[in-house]
Amino acid sequence: MNSRLKWRPRLTDGTAPVLVVLAVLLVALAFAGPAYSEPAGYLALLKRAAPLVILAIGQYLVIVSGGFDLSVGSLVTAEVVIAARLINGDDGNTVWVVALLLGFGVLVGLVNGLITTRLLVPSFIVTLGMLLVLDGAVFLWTGGAPRGALSESFRVPGRGSLEIPVLGQVPWSVLILLVVLVGAVLFMRGGTGRTLIAVGDNENAVRLAGGRVDRLRLLAFVSSGLLAALAAILLAGFAGVSAQVGRGLEFRAITAVVLGGVLLGGGRGSVVAAAAGALSLEALFSLLKLVGVSGALESAVQGVIIIAAVAYAAHGAGLRQKLRIRKPAPALP
Amino acid sequence: MNRKIAVVAVAGVLAMAGCSSDLPGQGAGNASSSKQPTAKSEFFDQPEYDRQLKFRTATAVNLDGGGGQAQPWEQALDPKLVDTAKFAKPGGGHHLCFSNAAVNNPWRQVGFKTMQEEVKQHPEITKFSVLDAAGKDDKQISDIQSFASQGCSALIVSPNTTATLTPAVEAACKTGVPVIVFDRGVKTSCPVTFIHPIGGFAFGADGAEFLKEKVPSGGKVLALRILPGVDVLEQRWAAANQIFSGSGLKVVGVEFTDGDAAKTKSIVSTYLQREGKIDGIWMDAGATAVAAVEAFQDAGAALPAIVGEDQQDFLRMWSKEKLTAVAPTYPTYQWRTPVIAALRILTGKQVPQEWVLPQPRITQDNLKDFIKTDMPPLHYAMCGCDSMPGYPAPWK
């Protein structure tokens, strides 16, 4: 079906619609707010969205291989609280604490992955358990209120920006996001990435073909943990210490991935689409605020998106063909 | 087939919600799209509002009369003293019991530390038992019941919620132990004393009046609240809403932050993009005030007049950035008073039935007195603890 005789962008089935949605939202933003008439407005949006996009990329790796990672939200909270406590306002602590945070993310991912692959507990349950464990541990350690403070240098990746000739002030988080995204795209194009998708599609086939299913799964969870740690560093840098920072982020990331047309249960979807889904979600929330819709509606909108996007994905293939016959452009406004 | 049509319809509606609703935003929408705070909140209570506003300027009195100026946590506003002779237990050796709602935020942590240090100052208290309900009503009800069999000399309760804890407190009163309630109240008059600062209306009004004074008429104010439905927070907003509706200020939005810095910063930066300029920020609690100011800094916008609270991180930023700011407080020194009240009761001295503590605010004039650079950023300045013997180690 998919001839690879000549190079073409790897746009999987679900990618085009979310890119259209994203484009529509970005144009709508330009009409809704004066701030979006210049690049700075969009860069500010990207900066706000960067942690969620990074989380969505991690979540994508797990979902496309047939799992779930519900622990990322509480992992983000735990990381931020740990960072504040260990740095304690001292710039000299920044470097080793960042290394430790990334290491902790890897460790949590490793535990999630090992329990899923070795003990054969469904990842939904493992990571739900991890969510509760981390929540409880953070509460026990802090008594519910974070202590300590972040250093100025720790906050640079999330808050600072770099002067780039044409674009002006480009936030560090946007640059970090670009690196992660390019890395993820290259990874998914490579043999390992393709096998990871195959694991989500048909685990047994991969195993019979000699693929190391457990190792790939483990890799997905570890990457998700590592990316959650990175997102936590950006979030903490962006806004400072808070014990609420990760609340609900796991569902936001899953919504983003689903919005990107990635099939829950794995085996289909592209990482670019997942990232675009996260950006669309953030753009949608910004748009709702710009036009004066209450923030209380956010979770309702998120719920509708999950259901609608999964329904669309389930019936999408046939639907898209029909639409294509009638007219070339998708029916999205 | 039908299902597919439905899916298209849903997707279409979703996308249209994004597209079409910006149309009104173009014209008249910008003037009227935000929620106008005209309707009075169901939490607004005119007599109580008037009473609290009056208390702000009233002079607190010493309970034992005259004799110099007592500390604010030993004073009361308009006290109606009650006799406690029947509870007197001469000879010391008191066992103080405390049922705490939770220590799940920095305010309660600072307060609880302060209370523990206060207990240490009184050798006549030989045992101090604490049960932490971790924010759960049912846990606190059983905590209070279990104290009944522990031989408490006096029971201090900081209720988690008002209505649900009322029967448990009534049952505790019946055991004959003097009961002291503080912070949030209960719907019964059986406790010997109920200790609290002036209240939410005064807190909300302090901030709103400051903005009314500092922001020019027609200026845009963004109100940031933690979450809806909590009576102390609703009272703060009800008072602010009352004051804003009678002023020339334009409230461009009322948003809930969940007390999360990242969410606060996102909200504020989106509003800056939407409105171009925000002249004032009103907050029902100051925990995320620093994040709100950072959003202005990062957007390169002029800093607004802002209402914060007495946390060190905000006070330091206020001083460093020369903010136009005010910090109403819900003083953590009120955690000292229940211990003082318990000892008064156990020695048979009178206490006010409703012990209303002064509720000071931090302004530009007294800001420097409250900045403590060696304290943690989330420390509350109005703890009344800086002259206590162990200070500052336990609060760090």
End-to-end CA distance of chain B: 65
Number of domains into which chain A is organized: 1
Residue A333 domain flag: no
Residue A240 domain flag: yes
End-to-end CA distance of chain A: 30
Tell me, what DSSP letter sits at residue A8?
A: -
**Measured between beta carbons, which residues in chain A are less than 8 angstroms from residue B274?**
32-33, 35, 289-290, 292
Contact between A69 and A274 under an 8 Å Cβ cutoff? The reply is: no
Tell me, what DSSP letter sits at residue B89?
A: -
Q: Which residue of A has its CA nearest to B103?
A: A143
Contact between B128 and B116 under an 8 Å Cβ cutoff? The reply is: yes
pLDDT tens figures, B47-95: 999 999 999 988 888 887 765 677 889 889 988 999 998 898 888 889 9
Contact between B307 and B258 under an 8 Å Cβ cutoff? The reply is: no
**Measured between beta carbons, which residues in chain B are less than 8 angstroms from residue A150?**
none
CA nearest neighbour of A145 among B132, B373, B108, B381? B108
Lowest mean pLDDT among A59-73, A273-287, A291-305, B239-253: A291-305
Look up residue A82 and give its two tokens. 């740990």
Position A322 scores a pLDDT of: 62
pLDDT of A282 over the 60 cut: yes
Which pLDDT band holds residue A160 (cuts at 50, 70, 90)? Answer: confident
Q: Which residue of B has its CA nearest to A47?
A: B266
Q: Which domain holds residue A96?
A: 15-20+36-326
Which residues pair with residue A235 across a beta bridge?
A: none
Contact assignment for B15 to A24 by CB distance below 8 Å = yes
The CA distance from A202 to the nearest CA of chain B, in Å, is 27
Query: Which of A35, A144, A293 lies nearest to residue B105, judging by beta carbons?
Result: A144
Lowest mean pLDDT among A84-88, A305-309, A321-325, B233-237: A321-325
Predicted model pTM: 0.80
Contact assignment for A242 to B260 by CB distance below 8 Å = yes
The CA distance from A286 to the nearest CA of chain B, in Å, is 6
Position A267 scores a pLDDT of: 83
Contact assignment for A242 to B12 by CB distance below 8 Å = no
Mutate one of A36, A43, A151, A244 to test the B interface: name it (highest B CB count within 10 A): A244
Residue A331 domain flag: no
Distance CA A11, CA A24 (A): 19
pLDDT of A321 over the 90 cut: no
Distance CA A294, CA A285 (A): 10
CB atoms closer than 10 angstroms to residue A137: 14
Query: Which of A35, A312, A333 lies nearest to residue B16, judging by beta carbons?
Result: A333
Position A144 scores a pLDDT of: 65
Query: Any CB–CB contact under 8 A between B10 and chain A?
Result: yes
Burial per residue of B97-132, b for 16 or more beta-carbon CB atoms within 10 angstroms, e otherwise: bbbbbbbbbbbbbbbbbbbbbbbeebeebeebebbb
Position B105 scores a pLDDT of: 82
Residue A203 domain flag: yes
Query: Which of B255, B262, B377 lies nearest to residue A235, judging by beta carbons?
Result: B262
Query: Any CB–CB contact under 8 A between B24 and chain A?
Result: yes
ipTM comes to 0.76
Residue A223 domain flag: yes
Contact assignment for B7 to A31 by CB distance below 8 Å = no
Distance CA B363, CA B318 (A): 10
Look up residue B326 and give its two tokens. 């005010």
Query: Which of A36, A240, A287 lies nearest to residue B18, judging by beta carbons?
Result: A287
Beta-strand (E) ranges in chain B? 61-62, 75-76, 81-82, 94-100, 125-132, 154-158, 179-182, 193-197, 220-225, 250-256, 280-283, 305-307, 324-328, 351-352, 354-357, 361-362
The CA distance from A43 to the nearest CA of chain B, in Å, is 11
Contact assignment for A24 to B261 by CB distance below 8 Å = no
Q: Which residue of A has its CA nearest to B295?
A: A239
The tens-digit pLDDT sequence of chain B (396 residues) is 344 444 444 444 444 433 333 333 333 333 333 444 445 667 888 999 999 999 998 888 888 776 567 788 988 998 899 999 889 888 888 999 999 998 878 889 899 999 999 999 999 999 999 999 988 899 999 999 999 889 899 999 999 988 889 999 999 999 999 999 999 888 888 999 999 999 999 999 999 999 999 999 999 999 999 888 777 888 999 999 999 998 889 999 899 888 888 889 989 988 988 888 999 999 998 889 999 999 999 888 999 999 999 999 999 999 999 999 999 999 999 999 999 999 999 999 999 999 999 999 999 999 999 998 888 888 899 988 888 888 888 887
The whole-angstrom distance between residue B258's C-alpha and the CA centroid of its chain comes to 15
Query: Which of A244, A315, A331 lies nearest to residue B260, judging by beta carbons?
Result: A244
Tell me, what DSSP letter sits at residue B325?
A: E
Residue A257 domain flag: yes
Contact between B254 and B281 under an 8 Å Cβ cutoff? The reply is: no
CA distances for B47 relative to B50, B56, B76, angstroms: 5, 15, 20
The CA distance from A138 to the nearest CA of chain B, in Å, is 11
Distance CA B61, CA B257 (A): 38
Which pLDDT band holds residue A125 (cuts at 50, 70, 90)? Answer: very high
Which pLDDT band holds residue A51 (cuts at 50, 70, 90)? Answer: very high
DSSP H or E segment with residue B7: helix B2-20
Query: Any CB–CB contact under 8 A between B382 and chain A?
Result: no
**Measured between beta carbons, which residues in chain B are less than 8 angstroms from residue A31?**
22, 26
Q: Where are the alpha helices (DSSP H) in chain A?
A: 15-32, 39-64, 72-87, 94-118, 123-142, 152-159, 172-189, 191-201, 203-208, 213-239, 249-259, 271-290, 298-326
Contact assignment for A144 to B291 by CB distance below 8 Å = no
The CA distance from A32 to the nearest CA of chain B, in Å, is 6
Residue A31 domain flag: no
Distance CA A195, CA A266 (A): 12
Query: Any CB–CB contact under 8 A between B33 and chain A?
Result: yes
Contact assignment for B22 to A32 by CB distance below 8 Å = yes
Distance CA B303, CA B133 (A): 41
**Using CB atoms and an 8 Å cut-off, which of residues 328-367 of chain B contact chain A?**
none
Position A299 scores a pLDDT of: 76
**Using CB atoms and an 8 Å cut-off, which of residues 256-285 of chain B contact chain A?**
256, 258-267, 269-274, 276
Contact between A76 and A245 under an 8 Å Cβ cutoff? The reply is: yes
What number is the average pLDDT over the span A37-66? 90
Contact assignment for B14 to A242 by CB distance below 8 Å = no
Q: Assign residue A290 the CATH number of its domain.
A: 1.10.3470
Set out the domains of chain B in order of their start, with CATH numbers: 71-199+331-371 (3.40.50.2300), 202-328 (3.40.50.2300)
Tell me, what DSSP letter sits at residue B330?
A: -
Residue A10 domain flag: no
Distance CA A92, CA B248 (A): 49
